[in-house]
Structure 1
Amino acid sequence: MELFGKMCRLPAALLFLSLIFSSLFSLSVGGDILTPTQHLPDDQILISVGERFALGFFSPVNSNNRYVGIWYKVSPRTIVWVANRQHPISERNGSLSITANGTLIITDQNSKPIWSSGSSDLASPIAQLLDNGNFIVKEAKGDGNIVPGSLAWQSFDYPTDTLLLGMKLGWNLTSGLNRNLTSWASPSDPAPGLYTMFLDLHGDPQIILLEGSKQLCRAGPWNGQSLSGIPDMMRFKVITVDFVIKNDEVFATYNTTSTSIITRLTMNYTGQVQHFAWLDDSQMWSIYMSKPRDLCDYVSQCGAYGVCNPDDSPICSCLPGFKPRLPRNWDLREGKDGCARMTELDCRNGTDGFATIEKAKLPDTSRSTVDRSMRLDECRATCLRNCSCTAYASANINGTGCIIWTTELNDIRVFTFGGQDLYVRLAVADLGLGSDHSHSRTITGIVVGSVVGILLLAVVGICVRMKRRRRTAATLGAIPFASHCNNEYKDDKDWELPLFDLGTIIAATDNFSIENKLGKGGFGPVYKGKLGEEQEIAVKRLSKTSTQGANEFMNEVILIAKLQHRNLVRLLGCCTQGEERILVYEYMPNKSLDAFIFDKDKGVLLDWQTRYNIIEGIAQGLLYLHRDSRLRIIHRDLKTSNILLDKDMNPKISDFGLARIFREDETTLNTRRVVGTYGYMSPEYAMDGVFSVKSDVFSFGVLVLEIISGKKNRGVSISEHQGNLLAHAWSLWMHGNGLELVDKSISNSISMVEALNCIKLGLLCVQECPKDRPTMSSVVLMLGNKNASLPDPKQPGFFPTRAPSKNESSKSKTNSASINGLSVTTVEGR
């Protein structure tokens, strides 16, 4: 905006007189209007006529700086716009005023101007806060109405991190004004942060999300009904979206079908774009939509000519007529190198044709060409005449308009709902249509493998079914796995995973050398290894003496092969050669969370913000398991040693050997064989064998309290923690001393509000009655809204504090320093 710079261009005399004038008239403000005879001091606010919005001075959470902002008149306060986001006031003596010619000015405690809306030339100006959240400067009539065409300035032209109803995201091509969203730097600092969402005008206009200067996500071009990359828009029942392309402006905007609906679209400081709706009954914001949601929302996960599908495992495949550019990397589930043509195009002889990719998010359109008047058949003919044309699509989903690509096709994904047809140019040899090249071929699935592969899939599927019928088998040696490890295999449930040759694993780990050993869990030892020059891996080897690993090995392979999320550890493949049962994971250089949290020296490396991010990441991963993945999964062994940390300290949930799949119609299950780890088990599971998603929520609550306190739930002194950490946390909370739970090593870096909310959230998750515990979707919502008002927790389900018997002690012994390993406790139900 450079508003401060514009203010400096005001005539000095005029600015001086304006400041003197406003200081002489120190009348307090009421209502929704500010005039040159008034000023808005720090302790006063403007309220829109419908009492939906307020404007005034505020301080962000955990900050004493003062800013002028606009917020919804709901509790907790929700800031939607900030004026002086780069120029805070350090004391509560600031003031907002409007000069005689219509310039808004914020002054600090020394009456020094620190922000301005820029010069204007109005005779009778007023500033008014409208009921849509827009703060405007206009020429006033005698009756107070706006003089037509006299709008001199409006806050809607200068968004911060929030898009409100009727606000435009995009360009005024006449003035060059670019309206974009920029995240806050942090929850306590509204200065421009790392993330920007803007409308890119190159080619066919599309909305882009940047992380710094790096393109992070792409919403795709407008297709007449929705943005190509957000087909969910077509399902909105109360939200209407418009995309306007005219000679003088290009912008996107949204509205609602009812004026009573309170909604906002906000890009938070972590780069999440979230659409919120206000729920009157619960008095809180509910997330209506959130992006990015899955890995395929991030740009070019599968490279040029690759297709991303979050419902597939692996998520990347090649367009028909293309093959992986670097097959070895694709075997390791790394598809960003993209795909290459199987057969070069033959433009001269006119024998090329097209394959149709249905329900697609269109490729990056920044270097495409668009003709909105052309019919689709004309578009096809134009593409065929251009030897550089690689694909075409309709600009409008109704079949009108033409988009043509002459470059590589990047960032394609497919949906189960929505999307549109993309026509990819192929050589005749890859079409399989004989001499009839005039028809397109519809590709409903991407075919991989060969006849041998198909036979292998059938054999493995039969074997897996046989295994399920023979559940009394005691060891994995009875499971008829394929021993040739250079193919992919599937069972009847469509799981697939690269198989590694044992020689490759031995070479990668230096023959399982002691120097490469990372740790050992109930499953067996874990080794660090390297494939090629760069690919670091963690190799988990089933111990021959393990009584816990056989079924868990199968369970983990089948489950985790279907899962793809940034907060779940990635299984790269396995080896089942001879008697060996080996799992190969991505390597986590920072090992497991328990190695940091419960170590006094390493614990200081996890400041409050890092711990908060870890809590958020675990919550996102667990929500994916419970709600958003292809399968509905209960982890059953969520604990600090099963949370791994990557190089950036991002958390990844690991070890799915004990996980169970829930059908959509199932809410709880009962088992006679209770498995997991004491201290993290919910009471109903530990005592009665009953488990559900709320069992994982309980374990998550224990994790939260351990992360905050740096102490284990079990194994602590009874005199110090009254039995366990949950009892200690509950006692502190009930006596109003919740902050005493916080790890002393990070006490200087905490946000008190955030810490108390997290402690409260942890206690809500460990409540004794499962129905009282929140779902993970509610947990993620609470973490995303750090000013949310949380309900009061009830008493936790205190874990039994009696000393375990000798038998139980041996069964519940864990390796707290496990690294990429599985630490399993098996407890027989009583």
Structure 2
Amino acid sequence: DDFAPLGRPIDDNCSYQTTYKLQANPGPHGEFSNFNPSKKNCFLTVLFLFLSTSSAQNVLRRGSSLSVEDDSDILISPDKIFSCGFYGMGQNAYWFSIWFTNSKDRTVVWMANRDRPANGRGSRVSLRRDGAMVLTDVDESIIWETNTTSTDVGRAELLDTGNLVLKDPGGKILWQSFDFPTDTLLQTSYLQRGQSCIYWPNPDFDVFGNGRTNYNSSRTAVFDEMGHFISSDHLQFSAPDTGLLRIKRRLTMDHDGNLRLYSLNNETGLWVISWQALSQLCNVHGICGINSICVNTPDPKCSCPPGYEITEPGNWNKGCKPMFNSTLSQSQQVKFVLLPHVDYWGFDLNFSASTTFDSCMKLCLGIIGVKHLAIG
């Protein structure tokens, strides 16, 4: 036949027992055999139903869910820039995440369960009847959930900004992912007191210069659509491509500890670094790992001080380990080696504004676990 079976009719007005779809086998005059014009509305209805159910949407209704086992079970923002669903990594680890749809590596910008991945079978994200969005594992245990139980949540919606929101029937936002950032700020997002913090207000100051801890829990900041970052503690910067509305950007605290602003090249799908907090990468904690020495050449080059060796060959993130017994007693002979222009800053046990070299050595020997001293 010139038609292939597709399924049963969907309404009583169609008399076929089998519905057909067209194949490229027209008759000599362009006609298709076995085609009844009076019944074409039934075929069109079935085709329309198939297309509508297979297209992605940006809304998850109350009582609906997304399954980890269905790759097409995702939300996509109206402008197609962002996707939301299960993001797999490794053999059997999945995170409920938001990512850039068209970036080459599908860059993740938010994770709900970053500390506890979900199983690749049976896991599900559900917008429950009680108003909570819940991520459950294969054994039905709850991995993550929103604090919206007993609220009038009507739907979950992924916006063009990359913000996942829960709304009531009137459109009021009751919960949003922007209030719970992980390592990335998107344009139009902000930081405020009580949220996770991803940036250090002034990288030129240490904890003593700032007079507070590394966590900026008492300030606010906003990253706007034009590419400007402004905070209440006067840290400000702008992307070189600022003012271009069609450029998609992200501000990310990278794994090496440096804060970087990225712009997406729409043609290649690759990210371009447009700003970074520390241009001298050796000033970034974590480049070379604990106990190691970093030298800008101009790229960072890692090495170990005398008496130390690399902990894991080929992986400087693990730093250096001592080649001697680190639990030395005061009765054992200890030698201090002078390392000019080296500072293990940021790991200070004690800070003294004015002291002598001998006093520092005695303090170092008297405290178990102390391996370095620095004289400024």
Tell me how far 1:276 sits from its aligned partner.
0.5
In structure 1, distance between residues paired with 2:237 and 2:196: 12
Give the 3-state SS of the residue equivalent to 1:197 in structure 2: coil
Cα distance change, pair 118–607 in 1 and its aligned pair in 2 (3 A) = farther
Pairing partner for 1:81 from 100, 107, 110: 110
Tell me how far 1:88 sits from its aligned partner.
1.5
Cα distance change, pair 278–113 in 1 and its aligned pair in 2 (3 A) = same
In structure 2, distance between residues paired with 1:110 and 1:287: 42
In structure 2, distance between residues paired with 1:28 and 1:112: 30
In structure 2, what is the equivalent of residue 292 of structure 1? 278
In structure 2, what is the equivalent of residue 264 of structure 1? 250
In structure 2, what is the equivalent of residue 606 of structure 1? 312
In structure 1, distance between residues paired with 2:184 and 2:169: 28
In structure 2, what is the equivalent of residue 64 of structure 1? 92
The answer to whether 1:130 aligns with 2:130 is no
The answer to whether 1:37 aligns with 2:37 is no
Equivalent AA in structure 1 for residue 228 of structure 2: T
Over aligned residues, Cα RMSD in angstroms?
Answer: 4.8
- Contact map agreement 1:29 1:45 (CA 8 A) in 2: no
Question: May I ask how many residue pairs the two structures share in their alignment?
Answer: 250
Aligned counterparts, 1:597-636, within 5 A: 606-607=312-313, 609-610=315-316
Tell me how far 1:31 sits from its aligned partner.
0.2
Tell me how far 1:241 sits from its aligned partner.
2.9
In structure 1, distance between residues paired with 2:185 and 2:124: 26
In structure 2, what is the equivalent of residue 111 of structure 1? 140
Equivalent AA in structure 2 for residue 567 of structure 1: P
The answer to whether 1:243 aligns with 2:271 is no
The answer to whether 1:161 aligns with 2:161 is no
Pairing partner for 1:588 from 300, 305, 325: 305
Tell me how far 1:66 sits from its aligned partner.
1.2
Equivalent AA in structure 2 for residue 240 of structure 1: H
Equivalent AA in structure 2 for residue 70 of structure 1: I
State, as a whole percentage, how many aligned pairs show the same letter: 24
Give the 3-state SS of the residue equivalent to 2:245 in structure 1: coil
Aligned counterparts, 1:162-181, within 5 A: 162-171=184-193, 178-181=194-197
Equivalent AA in structure 1 for residue 269 of structure 2: Q
Tell me how far 1:81 sits from its aligned partner.
0.2
Over residues 481-525 of structure 1, what are the superposed CA-to-partner deviations in whole Å (9 max), with x where a residue is unaligned?
xxxxxxxxxxxxxxxxxxxxxxxxxxxxxxxxxxxxxxxxxxxxx
- Contact map agreement 1:180 1:198 (CA 8 A) in 2: no
In structure 2, distance between residues paired with 1:208 and 1:153: 36
Cα distance change, pair 101–90 in 1 and its aligned pair in 2 (3 A) = closer
Pairing partner for 1:151 from 163, 173, 177: 173
- Contact map agreement 1:28 1:41 (CA 8 A) in 2: no
Cα distance change, pair 125–253 in 1 and its aligned pair in 2 (3 A) = farther
Please give the TM-score of this superposition, normalised by the length of structure 1: 0.26
Over residues 590-628 of structure 1, what are the superposed CA-to-partner deviations in whole Å (9 max), with x where a residue is unaligned?
68xxxx8xxxxx9xx5355448999xxxxxxxxxxxxxx
Cα distance change, pair 295–47 in 1 and its aligned pair in 2 (3 A) = closer
- Contact map agreement 1:106 1:116 (CA 8 A) in 2: yes
Aligned counterparts, 1:528-547, within 5 A: none
Aligned counterparts, 1:323-402, within 5 A: none
In structure 1, what is the equivalent of residue 80 of structure 2? 51
Tell me how far 1:37 sits from its aligned partner.
2.8
Over residues 720-765 of structure 1, what are the superposed CA-to-partner deviations in whole Å (9 max), with x where a residue is unaligned?
xxxxxxxxxxxxxxxxxxxxxxxxxxxxxxxxxxxxxxxxxxxxxx
Tell me how far 1:294 sits from its aligned partner.
2.5
In structure 2, what is the equivalent of residue 19 of structure 1? none
Equivalent AA in structure 1 for residue 187 of structure 2: L
- Contact map agreement 2:312 2:318 (CA 8 A) in 1: no
In structure 2, distance between residues paired with 1:275 and 1:609: 26
In structure 2, what is the equivalent of residue 470 of structure 1? none
Give the 3-state SS of the residue equivalent to 1:76 in structure 2: coil
Over residues 617-654 of structure 1, what are the superposed CA-to-partner deviations in whole Å (9 max), with x where a residue is unaligned?
xxxxxxxxxxxxxxxxxxxxxxxxxxxxx999xxxxxx
In structure 2, distance between residues paired with 1:606 and 1:48: 43
- Contact map agreement 1:132 1:165 (CA 8 A) in 2: yes
- Contact map agreement 1:34 1:128 (CA 8 A) in 2: yes
Equivalent AA in structure 2 for residue 257 of structure 1: G
Give the 3-state SS of the residue equivalent to 1:123 in structure 2: coil
- Contact map agreement 1:264 1:277 (CA 8 A) in 2: yes
In structure 2, what is the equivalent of residue 197 of structure 1? 199
Tell me how far 1:282 sits from its aligned partner.
3.2
Aligned counterparts, 1:770-809, within 5 A: none
Equivalent AA in structure 1 for residue 258 of structure 2: Q
Over residues 356-409 of structure 1, what are the superposed CA-to-partner deviations in whole Å (9 max), with x where a residue is unaligned?
xxxxxxxxxxxxxxxxxxxxxxxxxxxxxxxxxxxxxxxxxxxxxxxxxxxxxx
Unaligned runs of 5+ in 2: 1-52, 286-294, 321-341, 345-376
Tell me how far 1:161 sits from its aligned partner.
0.4
